[in-house]
Amino acid sequence: MSSIVVRFPDGSKEFRYPDRMLETGDVVLHDGSRFIVTGVSTDGGGQFIAVVEPESPSIGDLLQSEDGAIRLALVDG
C-alpha cells in the first residue's frame, strides 16, 4: 500500500496516500486540527515525507470550518 509519513510537531504518523500527492501550502485536517504543509520530500528509500505545522488562526478557524482541508486516513486505522 502506498503511504506518506507526515511529521507533526508532536511526532510522525503514516497515512494512506490522499487522492493526490500533498504539496507545500496544502492544508490537512487531522484529529480536528488544521495543519499547513511546509515541505514534501523523499527519504533514501523513496518514502514520501511531509512536514506540517499548525495553521495560523483565520476566519475559517473561528467558524470551525473544515472546508478546503485534505482529510488524512491512517495506514493502520
CB 52 within 8 A of CB 28: yes
Is residue 76 one of the residues assigned to a domain? no
Is residue 52 one of the residues assigned to a domain? yes
Count of domains for the chain: 1
Segment 26-58, tens digit of pLDDT: 999 888 888 999 999 998 888 999 999 998 766
Q: Is the pLDDT of residue 65 over 60?
A: no
Instruction: Quote the domain boundaries for residue 9.
Output: 3-71
Alpha-carbon gap, residue 2 to 45, rounded angstroms: 13
pTM over 0.85: no
Is residue 77 one of the residues assigned to a domain? no
**Mean pLDDT across the stretch 10-21?**
87
Share of the chain above pLDDT 90, in %: 44
Q: Is the pLDDT of residue 3 over 60?
A: yes
pLDDT, residue 54, reads 92
CB 27 within 8 A of CB 69: yes
Is residue 8 one of the residues assigned to a domain? yes
